[in-house]
Amino acid sequence: MVGLFIPLSALMSLQKSQKVLTQTIARDLTLLTRDTMDQVERAVWNRLEQIDLYAKNLAENPALVTSNAAFERKPDYRSFLAESDRQWQAQDPNDPNSIINQVLDRRLCEQLIVNIKQTFYYTQSYGYDIFKQVTVTNRFGAVIGETSHNRQCDLSRYAWWQQAKEQGLYVGPFNRQTNSIDMAIPILDVANNFVGIIQCSLNTQEFKDILIHLAQNSAYSTTCFTLLSQEHKVLHATDNRHWTCISMATHKHHDILATQQKALWFLVKNPGGRSKPSAMITHVHSNGYRTYQGQQWSLCMSVDADEALYPVVALRKALLLPFSVLFMSTIAAALMFTYSVLRPIEKLSQTANAIRKGNLTVRTHITSHNEIGHLAESFDRMTGELQQTIESLNKQVEERQRAEEGMTKLAGNLVESVQELEKANQEIRQITYAAAHDLKTPLRGMSMISQWILEDHGHLLDLDAQEQIKQLSYRADRFDKLLDGLREYSSLPSEDDTVKLIKLTEHLNTMITRHYDKYLPYIMIPENLPEIYSPVKAIKTVFEKLIDNAIRHMDKEAPVLQIRCHAHLHGWTFYVSDNGPGIEEKYHKKIFGLFQRLSQDDTLKTTGMGLCIAKKIVEAFGGRIWVESEINVGTTFAFTWPKAPRNISTLERLSVPLNLI
C-alpha cells in the first residue's frame, strides 16, 4: 500500500503544481488587467480634477456674476429663460443681432477656447484635444459661454445639469457615436454657494491609447484588451482575435459577472472542437478612483492559451523522467520500510491513541538508536511537557473563572449605579419644573399688581416712580420668560421627539405665516429645500430660535432674512442670514452661552436662551453651529444637520440637566 501511495501522491502533487502554476499565471494577468482598469479610471479622475480646478477659477468671473445678478432681478426668470431658449433655437448663430450673440459673453467664450482647448487641457504627447467641447451656464441653467454652438439656451432641464447641481458631480456614459463622455461640475464661490455649471465632452481617444499602449508593451504578443459597458457591450477593443472566446465567456458566466463584483478568470475553448483551451481571459470590474465612483465598466484581457500556459507545459515535460524514477525507487523503498519501520510506528501509534484518550502517563519505551528511536524519545519528552502544560492551564482556568465572577458582580453594581443616576436625574427635572412653575405665579402677580397701580394710581405718582413700576413689570415678565427658557433647556433633547420625513420648504412657510406674518415679504425661503428624516421638535426649534433671534435684533427699515441650504456627503448645512446690526467677532462664542445677551435693553424682551437652546439641540444630534458676521452689514448663523441624526445614549440624557446645575 505504501509503495502505491507514494507514486500516487507524487502524481497528485504534479497535478496540484500545474493547477497552482495556472492560477499564478491567471493571478498575474488579473493584476495586470486591474492595473490597466485603474489607469483608465485614473485618467477620468485626472480630467475631473482639471475641470474642478477651472470651475474654481470661474467662480468670480465677471460674466458669470453679471448673468446671475441679471436673472435674480427678473420677477419671473423661468418665462424669460423659456422665451430666450425659443429664440435661441429659431435664430441663426452667425447673425450678429441674434439673441445667441446677446446672451453669450464673447470674452468668456474666447477665454474657454484659448485656455481650455489650446493651453490648459491640451497635451502635446496626445496630438488631439482632450476635451471636444466646453460649456458654462449660470446658476439658473442659461448658457453664457461655449466653445461650440449649443442647440439650446436653457440646459437646466437636462439630467446631467440637475445631477451636477444636486450631487456635485456628473459623469455620463460612453458615447460611441461621438467617442466622448460628458462631464459636469458645479461652480461654487468662496462661500460655497452654487453659482453655475461647467460641462465638458471628454475625448475617449485617451482611454483607447492607454489600452493600445499596454497591449503593445505586454509580455505576451497575443494580448488583447476589451472594454465593456455595464450591459457587456463592447466600448473599445484593441484586437478582435479573441472576441469569440470573450463573447462565450460573458454569455456563459453572465450571472456570475453580474452578481460578483470581483476579478475572475476563464480558460475558454473555441467552438471548433479542439480539446485544449484556445484563450485565457481575465475579467475585472470598475472600482472608481478617489472621488470618481466609476461607470460600472469592466475590462477583459485575453491571451492565447498556448502562450499563457507555456510554463505549465514545460513543467509537465521537465518532471516526466524524474517521476518515472521516483515511482520505481518508491516501490523498492516501500518493501524495506514495511519490515524495518512498520512495527515501531504501530507501537508509537498505540501510545498516541492512549494519550488521545487522556492517559498522559503512558510512554513508548522504544530503545532503538535509529530515527524512529529518536522520534519516540522526543514523543515521550513532548508528552511530559504536555502534562505539565495542561496542569498549568487548569490553574489559569480556575483563576479566570474567579475573575469573571468578580467582573459579573462589578457589572451588576454599574447597572444599579446607572439606574440610581437616572432616578436622581428625573428628580432634578421634576424639581426644576416645580421651581419654575411655583415662581411663575408670584411673578405674574407682581406684573398684574404693577399694571393695576399704574392704571388706578398712576396719576398720584411722579414720572420717576411710574418708570420704576414699569421697569418692575418688565423685569417680572422677563423673569417669567427666563423660567420658560430654563424649563425648555432642562428638558433637551426630548425623549418623545418623533422622527419622520419633513418637507422643510412647506414647514418653514407655515411657521413664518403663523408667527411672523408681518415679516413675510422680507423672508426668503427657497423652493428647493430638501426633504429630511429628522426629529420634528428638534429641527423645528432650531429654525424658530434662529429666525426669532434675527427678527428681534433687526435694526433696518427694510429687513432681509434669507434661508439657504447646501447638501454634502453626510447631510446638509443650513444658513439663516439677515442684514441686521452684526456681531463683533469677540462675541461669536459668547452668544451661545446660557443667559448671554449682547444688549442690556430690557425692551427687546429677550432672555439670552434662544441660541443656547439651538446649540444644544444641534450638537446633541451630531451637528455643529457657528456664526459669521460683519458689523452694520449683517449676520449669518449656520448649522450642520446629519442625514441620520445619531441616537442619544442614556448617559448623555442624564448629563443634560447636570450641565444646568
* DSSP string across 377-388: HHHHHHHHHHHH
CB contact at 8 A, 37 and 286:
yes
The better pLDDT of the pair 495, 540 is held by 540
Q: Is the pTM of this model over 0.75?
A: no
Q: What is the pLDDT, as a whole number, of residue 305?
A: 81
Please name the amino acid found at residue 95. D
pLDDT at 25 over 80: yes
- Containing H/E element for 181? strand 180-188
Q: What is the pLDDT, as a whole number, of residue 543?
A: 93
The better pLDDT of the pair 360, 147 is held by 147
pLDDT at 641 over 90: yes
Quick one: 59-207 is in which CATH superfamily?
PAS domain (3.30.450.20)
- 575 three-class SS: strand
Q: What residues are paired with 301 via a beta bridge?
A: 225, 282
Mean pLDDT taken over the chain: 79
pLDDT at 78 over 60: yes
Give the pLDDT mean for 126-146: 84
User: What percentage of the chain exceeds 70 in pLDDT?
Assistant: 75
Q: What is the pLDDT, as a whole number, of residue 121?
A: 47
Instruction: Label residue 221 by pLDDT band (50, 70, 90).
Output: confident
Of these ranges, 99-108, 236-245, 282-291, 561-570, the one predicted with the greatest mean pLDDT is: 561-570
Nearest to 198 by CA among 151, 246, 233, 155: 155
End-to-end CA distance of the chain: 86
**Which residues have CB under 8 Å from 34's CB, separation 6+?**
263, 284
The better pLDDT of the pair 324, 342 is held by 324
The better pLDDT of the pair 121, 146 is held by 146
Q: How far apart are CA 529 and CA 535, in angstroms?
A: 17
- What DSSP assignment string belongs to 370-429? SHHHHHHHHHHHHHHHHHHHHHHHHHHHHHHHHHHHHHHHHHHHHHHHHHHHHHHHHHHH
- 461 three-class SS: coil
pLDDT at 148 over 90: no
**Which residues have CB under 8 Å from 482's CB, separation 6+?**
595, 607, 609
Instruction: Label residue 258 by pLDDT band (50, 70, 90).
Output: low
pLDDT tens-digit series, residues 344-391:
677 767 777 777 777 767 777 677 667 777 777 777 777 777 777 877
Domain regions of the chain by residue span:
59-207, 498-660
Give the pLDDT mean for 91-96: 77
pLDDT at 654 over 50: no
pLDDT at 537 over 70: yes
Q: What is the pLDDT, as a whole number, of residue 120?
A: 46
The better pLDDT of the pair 170, 449 is held by 170
- Containing H/E element for 230? none
Which CATH number describes the domain made up of 498-660? 3.30.565.10
Instruction: Label residue 576 by pLDDT band (50, 70, 90).
Output: very high
- Containing H/E element for 200? strand 194-203
Q: What residues are paired with 499 via a beta bridge?
A: 535
